[in-house]
Amino acid sequence: MGSDQDLRTEYLKLQAALYDPNTRLRSVPAVLEAVRGLFDLGRWVGLIHLAADPLRRIESIYGWQSTDRLLRTIASTLESCVGQSLPAESVIAQSGIYGGCFAAFLPIGSAAASPLDQLETAASAIALRLEECFAAPEYRTMSPRLSFRTGFSAFTNEPFFRLERIVYRALDEASSVGGGGEARRRNREQTELKRILRERDIDVVFQPVVQLDETRIIGFEAFCRGPRNSTLEQPRALFATSCDASMARELDLLCQRRALEGARGMGAGVKLFLNALPDSLLDPGFRDHLLRDLPEGLPLREEDIVLEIADRDAIGDYRQFEAEVGELRTRGFRLGVDDVGTGSRSLQTITEVRPDYIKVDRSLIRNIQNNLVKQEMLRSLSNVARSIEAILVAEGIESGEELAAVKSCGVHYGQGFLFSAPRHDFPATLGGH
């Protein structure tokens, strides 16, 4: 059993790791419980990260005593912002003992349209206070002058993640945002993505897939969009941000769940085309949680659902992929390959996966009536589809001339604005065609 001196030594080590005697601020690990308490005031907690530069250069010229004095001034200025530029419940911490980085945690008001709007205002106010403080004569003559980088992030208390990891991830994001405008834009979009995922703020519309000879609807493809009039409204921007944030699988799962929920209004016997990332289809948890039990009230069976493979370049091992998706086929689901005609792996995906549906990309259909090469390519794809007993669907048909050319190439199914724009309802027939 250790002596009292040993216990005191260990206590002092722990205290040194959690408390900076110079600034009298606690470190981030020491304020985690206080940060947790901020969630009682709202769903979001904001984080403002502040870094002072160039501290090492200043210390080499003026000595550690002067540097300690600068850090104490920064700390006291930040604390004076609480109740003024920052909400009264805000928590100030030092990001590393004896270092030049600080963190302010603050509750986000429920009325804020975007968490980052409130944070940007608060960060600007803090930066202004510091500039005013260090404009005093005793600091103006310093060379180099002290400068500050501020960045911010917002996070929620996600029950499946340890709070410590959430906080340190937010610290990394906030510190990177201090680097420039591009980083700020990326951080803003990733924070908006987190909000979308948490609040399930995805709009789903459906476009009819048509049997061309009879202009008869055989199914609907689901398209997912972000919040209207936001930077993430368009699917490309939405999924690009999810890839940057390593959240593509979470977004893919949410989009498919929202599409299945929205498909309750479909009629029985029609097909529902759902886009899916290869990584999602390979994930046993994804397959179990999304597709094991279809939503209550859905008029569709498993064999009515077509899982369209998007981002074919993400398939690393086709043999493994085919084996894994075989389970889905056994359960009745159909497979499709989307955007055929783009990229270099379309034909490999068709031959390896042997899908039930082949979707021809709109770039091959656009003005096909004026392009003999496109027509020959579409005839070849039609022959390939017949050889593997797949249904070929031409996407992006927008004119009667394109429709006539597609049909002359042996394609019997299509979709596009000629028939209908994506919509929220499910018409039983299409008039005028």
Q: What is the tens place of the pLDDT at every residue in 146-169?
A: 888 888 888 888 877 888 889 988
Angle at 245 between CA 242 and CA 249, to 5 degrees: 50
Position 42 pLDDT exceeds 70:
yes
The torsion region of residue 171 among left (phi > 0), alpha (psi -120 to 50) and beta comes to: alpha
- Is residue 234 within 8 A of residue 214, CB to CB? The reply is no
pLDDT score for 186: 72
C-alpha span between 103 and 78 (Å, rounded): 9
Render the burial of 22-58: b for 16+ CB within 10 Å, e for the rest: bbebbbbebbbeebeebeeebebbbbbbbbbeebeeb
Residue corresponding to tokens 């699988």: 249
* Model confidence pTM above 0.75: no
β-strand 203-211 against 216-225: which pairing, if any? Answer: antiparallel
Q: What is the mean pLDDT of residues 38-67?
A: 86
Packed helices 181-199 and 248-262: angle between N→C axes, nearest 10 degrees: 40
Residue corresponding to tokens 């250069």: 57
Structural tokens at position 205? 């519309």
C-alpha span between 110 and 41 (Å, rounded): 9
Residue 91: pLDDT band (50, 70, 90) is: very high
Q: Which residues pair with 86 in a beta bridge?
A: 82
Could you tell me which of 80, 86, 155 has the C-alpha nearest to residue 116? 155
Position 356 pLDDT exceeds 50:
yes
